[in-house]
Amino acid sequence: MNTPLLISEILIYPVKSLGAISLSQAEVEERGLRYDRRWLVVDDNNRFVTQRQYPTMALIEVSITENGLQLRHRTRDLGILTVPFQPETFDLVTVTLWDDQIESVIVNDASNRWLSEALGFSARLVYLPDTSPRLADPNYAPFDANVSFADGYPVLVIGQSSLDDLNTRLSEPVSMIRFRPNLVFEGGLPYDEDQWYEFTVGNLTFYGVKPCARCILTTVDPEKGEIAGKEPIRTLSTYRKRNNKIFFGQNLMTNQTGTIKIGDEISVLSRKQRQTMSEEI
């Protein structure tokens, strides 16, 4: 009898590249999980910044309260920053996220000051309003859907067995948070998620649209806020590399809304052609 596939973790990252929040359940919306990557840190050129350039961003913890987000620096006494759910300014800026130009709203001066002090450069915090379009890549998306400030797609899933397999190949194991998934599941073979196309989580249908290409961000130690070396990218490149890209995890889309929770069963309805990481390679 096959072991069932069950959701074991649900994670959101309200401010792109800052700390994660672990949830017992989440609301699925068009742009992804509610609150996931709806805020973004930008520099003076209105270009997005992440742990790729500033690994100390990993030291800023994020929580959700009734009044908004709360940001706290793990190693410095900067006080607690409360970020309202809706911006307190009407200042529109066009921010650059990879190749996209996205109309966003500056949150408030207090957030800009706190983040500039925490990160050591002139930073601003912006919010992505519902009215600002950002469509997923039509080369892969099976339907039109807007995306948050995530790199390219609304949701990312990784199997726990995939991480377990990777860790058997490393001299020092790494945690799942290095890969910043939204959904983690137990059961199944390592990298089984590579081949998922249509599947359900509880009552909602998702589509596996594209394997997730990985970068230097996975080498940042989230506990120390610093690049820890060349792993796990170096090891992944020995068996998960195609066309100069290294893949780990599957990007997802859905055209449904509703609630998912830990313990929900995953039912795979259809699979892609049995060819590892076939989309990009």
CATH of the domain at 164: 2.40.33.20
**pLDDT tens-digit map of 40-99:** 999 999 999 999 999 999 999 999 999 999 999 999 999 999 999 999 999 999 999 999
CB atoms under 10 Å from CB of 125, counted, come to 26
Question: Is 257 a member of any domain?
Answer: yes
pLDDT score for 236: 98
Say whether pLDDT at 20 is over 60.
yes
Give the burial class of 238: count Cβ atoms within 10 A of its Cβ; 0-12 exposed, 13-18 middle, 19 or more buried: exposed
Banded model confidence at residue 1, pLDDT cuts 50, 70, 90: low
Say whether pLDDT at 274 is over 90.
no
pLDDT (average), residues 154-173: 98
Q: Backbone phi, then psi, for 231, in 5-degree steps?
A: -95, 150
* pTM listed for this prediction: 0.96
Are 110 and 68 contained in the same domain? yes
Are 9 and 142 contained in the same domain? yes
Question: Is 280 a member of any domain?
Answer: no
Question: Is 114 a member of any domain?
Answer: yes
**Last residue of one domain, picked from the residues 127, 149, 178:** 127
pLDDT score for 278: 42
Are 74 and 162 contained in the same domain? no
**Last residue of one domain, picked from the residues 106, 127, 148:** 127
Total domains present in the chain: 2
Domain with 199 in it: 5-13+20-32+136-271
DSSP assignment of 99-117, as one string? TEEEEEEE--HHHHHHHHH
Are 183 and 243 contained in the same domain? yes
User: What is the CA 104 to chain-centroid distance, rounded?
Assistant: 19
Are 82 and 166 contained in the same domain? no
pLDDT (average), residues 222-228: 95
Query: How far is the C-alpha of 201 from the C-alpha of 265, rounded, in Å?
Result: 6
Query: How far is the C-alpha of 187 from the C-alpha of 7, rounded, in Å?
Result: 9
- How far CA 22 is from CA of 46, 82, 170, 215, in Å, comes to 29, 19, 26, 23
Are 159 and 244 contained in the same domain? yes
Of 257, 260, 255, 237, the residue nearest 247 (C-alpha): 237
**pLDDT tens-digit map of 105-123:** 999 999 999 999 999 999 9
pLDDT (average), residues 227-255: 97
Are 28 and 157 contained in the same domain? yes
Query: How far is the C-alpha of 55 from the C-alpha of 143, rounded, in Å?
Result: 35
Element (H, E) at 163: helix 160-169
Are 123 and 249 contained in the same domain? no
Are 9 and 88 contained in the same domain? no
